[in-house]
Structure 1
Amino acid sequence: MYHLNLSILLSAAAALATPIHERQPSPSVTIQNGTVVGSSSLGIDSFKGIPFAQPPVGNLRLRPPQPLTQGFGTIQATAQPKACPQQSNQVDTSDLPSDVIGELMNSPLYQAVTNAGEDCLTVNVQRPSGTNATSKLPVLFWIFGGGFEGGSTSQYDGSSIVRRSIALDEPIVYVSVNYRSSGFGFLAGQELADEHSTNLGLRDQRLGLQWAAENVEAFGGDPEKVTIWGESSGSISVFDQTVVNGGDNTNNGKPLFRGAIMDSGSVIPAEDVTTSKPQAIFDTVAASAGCGSSTDKLSCLRAVDYTTFLNAVSSVPPLTSYSSLDLSYLPRPDSGDDFFAESPEISLRAGRFAKLPLIIGDQEDEGTLFALNQGNITTNEDLVAYLASYFPNSPNALEDVAALASNYPDQPLLGQPGGSPFNTGGLNNLYPQFKRLAAILGDITFTLTRRLYLHNLHLLPHLPQNPPFPTYSYISTYLHPLPLLGTFHGSDIIYAYGLLGDQDPITRVVQTYYVRFVNALDPNANGTVAWPQWSDEGGRIPQVLRFLGDGEVQVGGDGFREGAYGYLVANWSLFRV
């Protein structure tokens, strides 16, 4: 810390000693709605909090985002932008070891965002200093995660990955988008369906992509070379952006993006916005806001003050509650609207999605974070009943879940793959069904769903061959020794964003693959250690890249937990949340 503070003081002193006429001017870019003045540091220009939509407040609350129609003059884009409203989260840490608590609370998933409010629809842009409107650099467009309940562009500084792109002589422009989450962005129900005001968070993301298509060139980016990237619910959003509008990802006849990177998330089968589960959530929110008996509940919800509505949308269980991945808010198909009209696995199987090169992968122990609060689940019957509650519209949920759970050992032993953290035998079992529940939650939400997604890409009957777009997949195992959590969900952010420093060996290898994919749609470009394309054609075991500790990589098979995977292949649509 002493050296860091000394460095800052010396840098400040040097800046003050530099004659004014020799100091670099603040970077400035003029776009459609005005002039944006940013800041420069360590070779990176940053422009923060650029509005891309009208503030979704007052009568625009719970409505699709509206493009800016007026200029904003000149804005100083140097302060951290306001985050969209965050659903309150709590996690019971009373029974967790202190080292696990530390890792948990330091992970991006649980970082608090205090500067939040409704006027939040902004983008951040970061680029190599010296970039100008003629540079035409590839663009990496980030969609953050947070369980569709929270998160913000302010949590993610793209400087490290931009610096990596400069070091590789493959420079990129980084763009991140704020979008509405929780009940502000994903409240469902018949009332919202009737006026086509569903899946607002996805609509915010899409308008942000349209902003990039129309403005990123002024910052030095190439609007025809955009790769969308997300993690967790951001990764699910990346997939959803490939299927909205029936798979049409164009704006004014040109694709909004040409590649995708999906970290921990893809296809989430879901019930329609008007079914009983989302309707019950709407009714709870309306009642909590004092609008339950109103003849026009939406008008009432738009009229209540911000704090009242925020408390109302937080009155349903959050991600960190006992309900865990049985999310209160998430993208749901709206059969009465073409924007997101059907459960995503239907779009996938029908080929109604944007077909483009992609990277998709998982952390080895995706489910451990989400099984921390269910200590009363001590028997197989408890586990089956708990998971069946995720699927209330399935008439045979108990039987379906029991059949799936039978593929996971009831008491994982050394050498058995059934419990997460995986490959730790009987260790790390916080309560009798912890490792088993963690394994199933991780698999059906992230890991085996990833394989189902890739498998269905290779089954498309209307394609003349295996996908004419390359697909690459990975599994990360770099935190295997960590007690209880293992290589937990969200830990990839630590390395992808260089939170341990640009020279961390894992950061270097992950960022190198990603930067080369953004530039060439091939992570192997320019001599990177070979990453095989994923394929299960002819019954072969597909190959993935494994990110190990110390920056090592290894090619391995993607054939684990075949019993559970085979059951899901045949019964995927039974598990709609």
Structure 2
Amino acid sequence: MIHLCHGSTLLDSPTKTPKCHRFSAVPYALPPTGNRRWRKPDPLPPTFSYGAKGYIRRGGVCPQPRVSGVTHDEDCLQSNIYAPIGTPPPSDGGFLQFGSNNYDDPSALLADTDVKCIFVVPGYRLGIFGFLASRELWENSPLAANFGFWDQRLALEWTYENIEHFRGDKNNITVGGLSAGSYATFHQLAYDIGPNSNNQIIRRVFQWSNGCGVEPKRLPEVQDQFDDLLSVLQIRASWGDSAKLEALREKTSDELVDAVGSMKQKFFRPILDGNFVSEDLFENIFSGKFGQRLHELNIQTIIGDLTQEFHGYENVFPPNSYQSLVNRLSWDYPRDIATAICLPYRTPAARTEEEWKTIFGKLYADMQIHSTMRGLIQSLMPALTLSHILRYRIDWRTKSVDKRQPPEFGATHGTDLSIWLFGNGDTLTNREKILIREWLKPVASFIRGEKVNWGTSFVQQVRYLTSEGEIEIKDDEAWDSKLPLWDLTKRITRNRKPRSKL
């Protein structure tokens, strides 16, 4: 039983006016600790009782590279839930955003704009805890891969089963996120409408600054990373599989996080496991079958990017040479793809570290966002009407972002959260409030499941927020220049020799 009285009401600091209700650290799964580490999450038992204590505290952040002042806790499979003041109509539905569930603040969005919905913001396993993969793990436990995706899926199923307790509508769920959250949103949608799902839940999606990416690595390609982890932790390769896994599970979360810092590849990404990420997913995207499935289910998407995304990426372990560029991109993508997209930079040239950093930032932004997102849209076009693909592009930012990102970076990766979340906890100027409310009007209609007046006339157009703070409908100036990279990755993926499932 969920007792709504255990929530708290968030107040506007100057006026003390109620902004929204918040229910904090609501568990949706058993803690993924001990023997549950690196296994699919276990749902809560039917006898589980929600008490007041669980609703009034902020849950710990799932372990990741440590930041001063942030508490990390593997017991993090919990959601923060934000509900509008008053009784929201059933049609407002639920909004599930992927990402850190303690860092963002949608309270002003719910209080001061037309967007009246319920946010369910789950924590889920990240990095080595969420996406470690190896032969040993796979053979030890069924479906032992993509744990972070399975966490998200269980949170989504929990939302479907319980959102009515918060006066939400389980048949009107929107899933969305920014960056990695957008990438996860795509894969949650793909699973939800794919062959392995037992219940289609998602009605529409937000994809902020990311798309479908490229086909993930398979298990053999990530085995070296697992072996490197064992070496760093001084766990002998000669030990049996059970002994290796037992030794890993005995390590503290801090020991594991610290070990990652000494590894050759420091990022753990989803793999093509044949279950959560189905074998034929990307071929279905290329062939148009994925778009046809979205058409059958009448699923809409809001999808777009910012003009200067690369500034947000160029300092994330940047390379300083051609070979280190290939190696760095191999953290995220299959090596054949990383090698191919780096070929234009192979010719001998005297490049400074700053130049390599810029090359990396722009190429990474194309792979993460600009090129793969437009390639996905192109693949969806034949099957979907314009009303199903609502595209945007942003070249503007609020003044509040300046304290986190230098003004000269412009509209760079992540600066749009202050737009989508109406300040995201920061103060907006009166002019900014007027502009953002106007920008969000069709978003409110989208979430309610109503007809959306987006304004674009064909899919190569975007709803554009200009650097001067004007809303315009414009042709996508990056369309033609970004698609060739998608075509290259598609060709490589299709030309691979048939391989075993993993």
Aligned match of 1:316? 263
Correspondence for 2:309 among 354, 366, 373: 366
1:389-400 alignment, distance < 5 Å: 390-391=329-330, 394=335, 398=339, 400=341
TM superposition shift of 1:174: 1.4
Aligned match of 1:240? 187
Superposed CA RMSD: 3.3
1:415-434 alignment, distance < 5 Å: 431-434=354-357
Aligned match of 2:500? none
TM superposition shift of 1:388: 6.5
User: In the alignment, is residue 458 of structure 1 matched against residue 381 of structure 2?
Assistant: yes
Tell me the distance in 2 between the aligned counterparts of 1:450 and 1:476: 15
User: In the alignment, is residue 346 of structure 1 matched against residue 287 of structure 2?
Assistant: no
1:102-117 alignment, distance < 5 Å: 114-117=70-73
SS in 1 for 2:313: helix
TM superposition shift of 1:315: 3.7
Say whether the 8 Å CA contact 2:6–2:23 is kept in structure 1.
Answer: yes
Correspondence for 1:68 among 31, 38, 44: 44
Tell me the distance in 2 between the aligned counterparts of 1:445 and 1:211: 29
The worse-fitting range, judged by mean Cα deviation, of 182-191 and 466-475 is 466-475
Tell me the distance in 2 between the aligned counterparts of 1:397 and 1:373: 16
User: In the alignment, is residue 171 of structure 1 matched against residue 89 of structure 2?
Assistant: no
1:76-225 alignment, distance < 5 Å: 76=53, 77-88=55-66, 114-131=70-87, 135-144=90-99, 152-165=100-113, 168=114, 171-194=116-139, 195=141, 196-225=143-172
Say whether the 8 Å CA contact 1:189–1:274 is kept in structure 2.
Answer: yes
Q: Deviations over 1:300-345 (max 9, x none)?
A: 222333333333344436xxxxx8xxx621222113xx22233753
Relative to the length of structure 2, the TM-score reads 0.81
Q: Deviations over 1:213-245 (max 9, x none)?
A: 010011010011111110000000000111126
Q: Deviations over 1:410-461 (max 9, x none)?
A: 99xxxxxxxxxxxxxxxxx9933444443222112211211101001124xx
Say whether the 8 Å CA contact 1:249–1:257 is kept in structure 2.
Answer: no
Tell me the distance in 2 between the aligned counterparts of 1:559 and 1:405: 28
SS in 2 for 1:513: helix
Q: Residue 352 and residue 202 in structure 1: after superposition, are their counterparts in 2 closer, same or farther (change >3 A)? A: same
TM superposition shift of 1:84: 0.9
Say whether the 8 Å CA contact 2:464–2:474 is kept in structure 1.
Answer: yes
1:490-505 alignment, distance < 5 Å: 490-497=414-421, 498-499=423-424, 500-501=426-427, 503=430, 504-505=432-433
Correspondence for 1:565 among 480, 483, 489: 483
Say whether the 8 Å CA contact 2:85–2:111 is kept in structure 1.
Answer: no
Aligned match of 2:14? none
TM superposition shift of 1:564: 4.7
Q: Deviations over 1:391-415 (max 9, x none)?
A: 4865586555335999xxx99xxxx
Q: Residue 82 and residue 543 in structure 1: after superposition, are their counterparts in 2 closer, same or farther (change >3 A)? A: same
Q: Residue 275 and residue 113 in structure 1: after superposition, are their counterparts in 2 closer, same or farther (change >3 A)? A: farther
User: In the alignment, is residue 47 of structure 1 matched against residue 2 of structure 2?
Assistant: no
Say whether the 8 Å CA contact 1:225–1:257 is kept in structure 2.
Answer: yes
Aligned match of 2:498? none
Tell me the distance in 1 between the aligned counterparts of 2:457 and 2:236: 53
Whose Rg is larger? 1
TM superposition shift of 1:44: 1.1
Tell me the distance in 1 between the aligned counterparts of 2:327 and 2:493: 9
1:431-446 alignment, distance < 5 Å: 431-446=354-369
Aligned match of 1:402? 343
Tell me the distance in 1 between the aligned counterparts of 2:309 and 2:86: 40
Tell me the distance in 1 between the aligned counterparts of 2:215 and 2:61: 27
Q: Residue 373 and residue 248 in structure 1: after superposition, are their counterparts in 2 closer, same or farther (change >3 A)? A: closer
Counterpart AA for 1:81: G
Aligned match of 1:107? none
Say whether the 8 Å CA contact 2:176–2:182 is kept in structure 1.
Answer: yes
Say whether the 8 Å CA contact 2:314–2:360 is kept in structure 1.
Answer: yes
Which structure is higher in helix share?
2
Say whether the 8 Å CA contact 2:174–2:204 is kept in structure 1.
Answer: yes
SS in 1 for 2:427: coil
Say whether the 8 Å CA contact 1:430–1:484 is kept in structure 2.
Answer: no
Tell me the distance in 1 between the aligned counterparts of 2:268 and 2:197: 27
Q: Residue 330 and residue 507 in structure 1: after superposition, are their counterparts in 2 closer, same or farther (change >3 A)? A: farther
Tell me the distance in 1 between the aligned counterparts of 2:276 and 2:316: 36
Q: Residue 163 and residue 347 in structure 1: after superposition, are their counterparts in 2 closer, same or farther (change >3 A)? A: farther
1:278-357 alignment, distance < 5 Å: 278-293=222-237, 294-295=239-240, 296=242, 297-316=244-263, 328-335=267-274, 338-342=275-279, 345-350=282-287, 351-352=289-290, 355=294, 356-357=299-300
Tell me the distance in 2 between the aligned counterparts of 1:163 and 1:249: 39
TM superposition shift of 1:366: 1.3
TM superposition shift of 1:560: 2.4
TM superposition shift of 1:60: 0.5
SS in 2 for 1:247: coil
SS in 2 for 1:475: strand
Counterpart AA for 1:548: T
Tell me the distance in 1 between the aligned counterparts of 2:121 and 2:23: 11
Unaligned runs of 5+ in 1: 1-29, 90-111, 145-151, 318-322, 412-428, 525-529, 536-541
Relative to the length of structure 1, the TM-score reads 0.71
Counterpart AA for 2:325: Y
User: In the alignment, is residue 517 of structure 1 matched against residue 437 of structure 2?
Assistant: no
Aligned match of 1:485? 409
Say whether the 8 Å CA contact 2:63–2:125 is kept in structure 1.
Answer: yes
Unaligned runs of 5+ in 2: 11-17, 495-502
Say whether the 8 Å CA contact 1:479–1:486 is kept in structure 2.
Answer: yes
TM superposition shift of 1:81: 1.5
- How many aligned positions are there? 459
Say whether the 8 Å CA contact 1:243–1:347 is kept in structure 2.
Answer: no
TM superposition shift of 1:555: 1.3
TM superposition shift of 1:471: 0.4
SS in 1 for 2:355: coil
Aligned match of 2:497? none
Q: Residue 282 and residue 450 in structure 1: after superposition, are their counterparts in 2 closer, same or farther (change >3 A)? A: same
SS in 1 for 2:202: coil
Tell me the distance in 2 between the aligned counterparts of 1:430 and 1:439: 14
SS in 1 for 2:210: coil
Counterpart AA for 1:475: R
Aligned match of 1:472? 390
